[in-house]
Amino acid sequence: MKKAFSLLLLILAVCMGTCSSVMADDAKEEDILYYGDYAYTLANGQATIVGCNGQFGGLCIPDFDDEEYGIPDRPGKEDESATFPHFIDGVWRTVVPATLDGHPVVAIGNGAFTESHGGDIVLPEGLTSIGSYAFYMCHHTQAITIPASVTFIADDAFDDYGGATLRVAEGSRAARYAEEHGLPYTYDMDYRVFASGKLLYTVTDGLATICGYDSYGMYKYTFGYADYNDDDGTDLVIPGRLDGHSVIAIRGRPFPYAFNRSDLTSVTIPEGITSIGNYLFAGCESLTDVTIPESCTLIDKGVFDDCPNLTLTVVKGSCAEEYAQENWIPYRYDTE
């Protein structure tokens, strides 16, 4: 009996020790420090980012009137670490600093960037780890640069993160992670999303892929989503070239629902486009006509879901005609 009781006490002691360790590892509110746009904790003089301005006070764009757009003040110091985001080389970009108040940033903590609006996010060289759900629900992010110094990425770090393209170094842990998890990635560290009028696009090998539609013409706020479109009906003629680049595709990366629920009434897609991505025009109830060229040989699933008033204009014998037939979408032939 005494032996059993002693064993029970030993088990309880081990459990209490384990619980104490877990609690000690959790960041307590009083341990969180603020600097510029970031909340962080310190261990051995090194910083772990545990939150950013996207959580602690909303999106902050320093170049615009905070009061007019209802943007709260940033927490912490007003200084060079206020990086959320800036318009750099035609892109809204957040460059995460390598140090916070003199402390090197070595980790992105669990959920640190949850639902933040960082645009194009560049993580600093010297970073070594990225925690669970670090970029959860970052649906307004176009790309994330992960340096080669990162050696640990939690298995669920990018769960439901919004589909942004990861910029990675060839042979790096981030490259292997993207490959293992089926995430879009590129070795091109200059990969970015550009805006031409209301159309957002990426460039690969000199060719443009349309990836978003900025319904308000305010790329700095909508980041390509058309969910809250205030246009009173729009006829969109997609050009064959954007800023000198031939347009070859309309895809949903990094905006999986780029034209979703917009008030577009008609869309003309030019000859030369070869593919149209998943669910791009889903929920466009005002859409009555989409003209698809013969050059388009791939139309993914759900592109025109919940478009009850739509009739496609297609070339006889084309991929678009076959797609219309298979998905019971009314269509007519292009007579031009």
Domains along the sequence of the chain with CATH: 29-186 (3.80.10), 194-333 (3.80.10.10)
d(CA 146, CA 308): 42
**CA nearest neighbour of 296 among 253, 255, 334:** 334
pLDDT at position 89 over 90: no
User: Which residue would you say has higher pLDDT here, 34 or 246?
Assistant: 246
* pLDDT value for 291: 96
pLDDT at position 210 over 80: yes
Q: How confident is the model at residue 78 (pLDDT cuts 50, 70, 90)?
A: very low
Phi, psi angles (nearest 5°) of residue 16: -65, -40
Q: Are 209 and 186 in contact (CB under 8 A)?
A: no
d(CA 258, CA 156): 25
d(CA 138, CA 117): 7
* pLDDT value for 283: 87
d(CA 290, CA 259): 13
d(CA 122, CA 83): 10
- Over residues 264-277, mean pLDDT: 91
Coil, strand, or helix at residue 223? Answer: coil
Does this model's pTM top 0.75? My answer is: no
pLDDT at position 218 over 70: no
pLDDT at position 150 over 50: yes
pLDDT at position 336 over 90: no
**CA nearest neighbour of 209 among 242, 244, 236:** 242
* pLDDT value for 161: 81
pLDDT tens profile 283-299: 888 999 999 999 999 99
User: Which residue would you say has higher pLDDT here, 238 or 115?
Assistant: 238
* pLDDT value for 116: 73
- Over residues 268-279, mean pLDDT: 90
Weakest-pLDDT range from 53-67, 146-160, 259-273, 322-336: 53-67
pLDDT at position 201 over 80: yes
- Over residues 10-28, mean pLDDT: 36
Q: For 48-83, give one letter per residue: b (16+ CB within 10 A) or e.
A: bbbbbbbebbbbbbeeeeeeeeebeebbbeeeebbb
Residues 6+ apart with CB under 8 A from 25: none
- Over residues 159-172, mean pLDDT: 86
* pLDDT value for 70: 31
**Which range, 14-28, 126-140, 230-244, has the best average confidence (pLDDT)?**
126-140
pLDDT at position 219 over 70: no
* pLDDT value for 233: 52
Q: How confident is the model at residue 75 (pLDDT cuts 50, 70, 90)?
A: very low
What percentage of the chain carries pLDDT values higher than 70? 69
